[in-house]
Chains A and B, each alone.
Chain A
Amino acid sequence: MQGVILMSSECEKYRNLILENLENNCEEIYLPEHIHLCPSCLNFYKGVQQLKNNLEALGLVIKEAIPKIDISENIKNELKKIKNGEIVVREIIEREDNIPELAEWHSYIENEMDEVARYRCELKMEKSSYVKQEIEDLINIHHAIDEIGSVWECPELDEDLMPRIMEKIQEYKLFASVEKSYSEIDAIKEELYNLSRVVSDSIQDIDLTLKVTKKAREISQEQPKKDKLPQNIVSIRSVREEKEDKKYSFKNYAIPIAVAAVLCLTLVGVYLNNYFTQVAEIKQVQVATGDLGKDRESSRTDFYEKTQPFYMNDNLSSEEKEPNTEKRTRNRKNNYAEGLLSNWTKQLKDNALTNAGKLMRMGVWATLTPEEARELLQKSGLSPESVLGAIQFLPPDEARVVLQAAIDNNPNDAYLRYAMVQTLRKMDNVSEDELYAHLTTWSQLDPGNALPHFIEAELYFQNGEKDKALTCVTDAGNTSNYNSYATITAKAYMEALLAKGVDPETAKLLASASMGLHEVQTIEEIAQTLMDYGRAYEEAGDYNTALLIYEALRSLGIKVDMSSALIQERLAGLKYTQEAINAMFRLMNTTNSLSDAQSLIDFTQTLSEMITNYNLAMDSFYNLFDSSDPTEILRILNLYLSNGNVSIPVSPNNR
């Protein structure tokens, strides 16, 4: 590196300054002093100036040598062409890499294209005479078909379809409504079933459920249905068997409901007070003396009136003065269970555990053997209720004798006729004339009651006497209510248990639990018979008869729901009302005669409201288990057992 003069930082600074001001043509005299004093920097300055001058001279030479070119106009023209797009499109199309597709050709044929697409098609046609000819041919065919199509006239619609469309929509709305109702009632059934199951499971340590249920089933099985199929117009056995296999048939859950009711009472630790001292005061009679019916009626009346619920006491006098027999009978029915339970509310048991032993024995006490029943009937001083209760445990032929004696002495007692009819129906070799005679008398004694007419209709159907059956069905439709005497039967049952020596607490619980079981089964049988025969006639093409039967079934359901004191019965009524409506709609649809659809629609609305009420009832029933107030629990149970409606909003305490 020796001999090389290293440029100082001062020289570097000034040389940069020279380069920066090169374009300014700075004169030499104005250069900084350093450049003048530093030969190296001065030489640098002169060299740079020389180079600049040479380049400028070269530039001038080149400028003179090259001809002038003005492309601005060309650019303007090209931009204008691009703006129009025509050239670009033409060039692209001419490259033939974007030929029209079939869809575009058809758009061209139908003259539904924009200009660019049209040009592309026309250009293609210009280039190919074959394509042009083909497209022209297609256009001709297009126009020819179009002409044919536009001239063609469809057969005219010869009527206004509006009414039929509206009818169809109304039908749909109704079906939708019925479907909804079905789902709602199914939900209620399921809830009831689950509810009873939960309660049953919760007290397995007491182990009462099975025994009471067993008893209830035994009662149910004591009523074998008469097998008269050979005489029937059609066989309905398979239909019935199929129905009975349904998972949650009403019969299946009715028993657990009753069990649940008893067990609910057990859980809250209720026991009876001295209510039965009132019962003991009832005038005692002997069956054979001939005073049974009369005394039974009077004692029953006394009993009902003595056992008004505590919250009804204020109204008792006015009720007693009510001259309307029907109303009084209704009050009796309701007051019976209310009377029982109102006493229970006074003494809530705090020693439930001490009663466990009693409850364990309940299953044994729940029934009377025929021998015990006979022994009981031998005793003197039995109350009429005890006698009637004891009859329930006798074989039908023996019960018939006792009942016949009672009827002979009290021919105008409707309940005795009912009991006799039910007894005769259990027997195999009974005179039909006798049965019909009792039914006729019963319906005369209780003219507003639809039940005897329905039972008679069922019998006539089973005997294949269609006309008589339909007459009975019509008669049933003309009645005002449905009375299955459930509370009287339950009371008689309780009295029999008491007479046997079952302690009052247990007898009352069992009587309450069994209340309605027989009666629901009766409804089930009648309704099922009507439904089966309705369907049979429907399948046979006798639509008028089928419709009449379905209408009767609907009437039965309505009457049960409106008249019954028990929620089990009312739910059964609701169930068969719905089935009847469903069947009627099916029939109307089959026969294409929906003229009565509107009335069914209206009724479905009513049904829907009823289901809503039951939903409310279910809510109240659930409150039974949520409430910590035993009084409230008992109030709800009281209402449930007495009149089936637990949604009554008036608290007894408020009364």
Chain B
Amino acid sequence: MTKPSDNKAFDNTPRSSYSDEALMSLLARGEEMALTELVQRYQNEVFRFCYHYLRDIEMAKDAVQEVFLRLYIARDRYDNEKSFKPWILCIARNLCLNELKRQKLVHFETFEGYVENQNRENKGEKEGIEAPKTLTPFEQLIIKEKQKILWEELNDLPEEAREIVVLRYFEQLHARDIAQIMGSTEGAVRTRLHRVLKYLKERLDARGDFNE
């Protein structure tokens, strides 16, 4: 990936070819087109991230604007050695948590709304997901039932556990990035994830209907 430099050829390089970190360097030097590029790259991702926390589309939109404003304000303080995506998501997380606190809303609501948003029609088209047509109707029914059970248990997770589940499984973030977003270590994140799985297992074992 091209790195920013001071030569003139740099100015002619399309902004889309720059890495996120390089664009931040440009922004710090006053090139506001870099901000445009970053917004185009990340507005959907930041919106999705904020939506997990806020569960309101308009609030999430406002949060996205605020996140990029904070990015702009902090452009001089950005450390190019650090990865950009976890950094901006960390800003988004802090902003969302503050907003929830300000509005006295529950930190990370349950997953109930998620079930409605789940697009099951596209399920088979997703990469890595077993196509439903290879399963018998009975097997499909079992999978559905199991997912329903799992949703119920996910809803009962403690707030902090829900957050880490969302970041890992819904946002598909790596433990290393989650650690950076949450201000923790990779080992601690993995430990927490493992504990969440064990907690779920205990709950599912206690129900007795998940592993049948």
Interface residues of A (CB under 8 A from B): 101-107, 109-110, 134, 137-138, 141-142, 144-155, 157-162, 164-166, 168-169, 172
B43 in contact with A101 (CB, 8 Å): no
Q: Considering the chains assembled together, what is the distance between the CA atoms of A138 and B190 in angstroms?
A: 13
B147 in contact with A153 (CB, 8 Å): no
Residues 67-95 of chain B, each 1 if its beta carbon lies under 8 Å from chain A, else 0: 01100110000000000000000000000
Segment among B6-14, B96-104, B115-123, B133-141 that sits at the interface with chain A: B115-123
Interface membership of B146, Cβ < 8 A = yes
Whether A172 touches B119, Cβ cut-off 8 Å, given contacts A106-B190, A161-B43, is no
Inter-chain contacts of A105 with B (CB < 8 A) = 194
A168 in contact with B69 (CB, 8 Å): yes
Q: Considering the chains assembled together, what is the distance between the CA atoms of A109 and B191 in angstroms?
A: 12
B119 in contact with A169 (CB, 8 Å): no
- The answer, among A110, A137, A150, A151, for a CB contact under 8 Å with B201, is A137
- The answer, among B35, B123, B129, B193, for a CB contact under 8 Å with A106, is B193
Inter-chain contacts of B186 with A (CB < 8 A) = 103
Chain A minimum-CB-distance residue to B195: A102
Whether A150 touches B39, Cβ cut-off 8 Å, given contacts A109-B194, A144-B146, A144-B150, is no
Interface membership of B65, Cβ < 8 A = yes
In whole Å, how far is B54's beta carbon from the nearest beta carbon of chain A? 11
A172 in contact with B69 (CB, 8 Å): yes
Using a CB-CB cutoff of 8 Å, which residues 153-181 of chain B contact chain A? 154, 165-166, 168-172, 175
Using a CB-CB cutoff of 8 Å, which residues 49-78 of chain B contact chain A? 51-52, 57, 61, 64-66, 68-69, 72-73
* Cβ-Cβ contact count across A and B, 8 Å cutoff: 132
In whole Å, how far is A134's beta carbon from the nearest beta carbon of chain B? 7
Inter-chain contacts of B191 with A (CB < 8 A) = 101-103, 106
Of B66, B119, B190, B195, most A-chain CB atoms within 10 Å: B190
B73 in contact with A161 (CB, 8 Å): no
Inter-chain contacts of A134 with B (CB < 8 A) = 198, 201
Q: Considering the chains assembled together, what is the distance between the CA atoms of A109 and B73 in angstroms?
A: 40
B190 in contact with A137 (CB, 8 Å): no
Inter-chain contacts of A103 with B (CB < 8 A) = 186-188, 190-191, 194
Which secondary structure dominates where chain B touches chain A?
helix
Whether A154 touches B68, Cβ cut-off 8 Å, given contacts A106-B190, A109-B197, A137-B211, is no
Whether A147 touches B154, Cβ cut-off 8 Å, given contacts A141-B197, A154-B117, is no
Inter-chain contacts of B117 with A (CB < 8 A) = 152-155
Interface membership of B47, Cβ < 8 A = yes
Q: Considering the chains assembled together, what is the distance between the CA atoms of A141 and B119 in angstroms?
A: 21
A151 in contact with B126 (CB, 8 Å): yes
Chain B minimum-CB-distance residue to A104: B190
B122 in contact with A142 (CB, 8 Å): no
In whole Å, how far is A81's beta carbon from the nearest beta carbon of chain B? 31
B43 in contact with A169 (CB, 8 Å): no
Chain A minimum-CB-distance residue to B66: A168
In whole Å, how far is A290's beta carbon from the nearest beta carbon of chain B? 69
Offer 9 A-B interface pairs, CB within 8 angstroms, sorted by A.
A103-B187, A106-B175, A106-B193, A137-B205, A141-B197, A141-B200, A151-B123, A161-B64, A169-B72
Inter-chain contacts of A158 with B (CB < 8 A) = 57
A162 in contact with B43 (CB, 8 Å): yes
In whole Å, how far is A142's beta carbon from the nearest beta carbon of chain B? 6
B72 in contact with A106 (CB, 8 Å): no
B194 in contact with A144 (CB, 8 Å): no
B201 in contact with A149 (CB, 8 Å): no
Interface membership of B44, Cβ < 8 A = yes
Known: A103-B194, A137-B205, A138-B194. 11 other contacts (CB 8 A): A101-B187, A102-B190, A106-B175, A106-B191, A107-B190, A138-B201, A145-B169, A148-B147, A149-B168, A165-B64, A168-B69
Q: Considering the chains assembled together, what is the distance between the CA atoms of A162 and B41 in angstroms?
A: 11
A141 in contact with B51 (CB, 8 Å): no
Q: Considering the chains assembled together, what is the distance between the CA atoms of A141 and B195 in angstroms?
A: 12
Name the 5 nearest CB pairs between A and B, nearest first. A149-B169, A106-B194, A103-B190, A149-B170, A154-B48
Of A157, A159, A162, most B-chain CB atoms within 10 Å: A157
